[in-house]
């Protein structure tokens, strides 16, 4: 059995580099971990 992992650009993690950090998660809701949403 072979496992394949792929990221086709559907999920991105973007962090701002200022005094206040802005974090945005993009992706299809069906493929985002529930802990990310809450």
pLDDT one-digit tens code per residue, 3-26: 777 666 655 555 554 555 556 666
Structurally, the chain folds into a number of domains equal to: 1
pTM for the model: 0.20
What pLDDT shows up at residue 33? Answer: 72
What pLDDT shows up at residue 8? Answer: 62
Q: Give the domain extent around 6.
A: 1-38
pLDDT class of 1 with cuts at 50, 70, 90: confident
Residue of 10, 2, 4 whose CA lies nearest to 27: 10
Is the predicted pLDDT of residue 34 greater than 60, yes or no?
yes
In the chain, the N- to C-terminal Cα span, in Å, equals: 34
């Amino acid at each position: 059995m072979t496992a394949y992992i792929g990221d086709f650009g559907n999920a991105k993690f973007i962090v701002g580099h200022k005094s206040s950090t802005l974090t945005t998660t993009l992706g299809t809701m069906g493929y985002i971990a529930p802990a990310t949403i809450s």
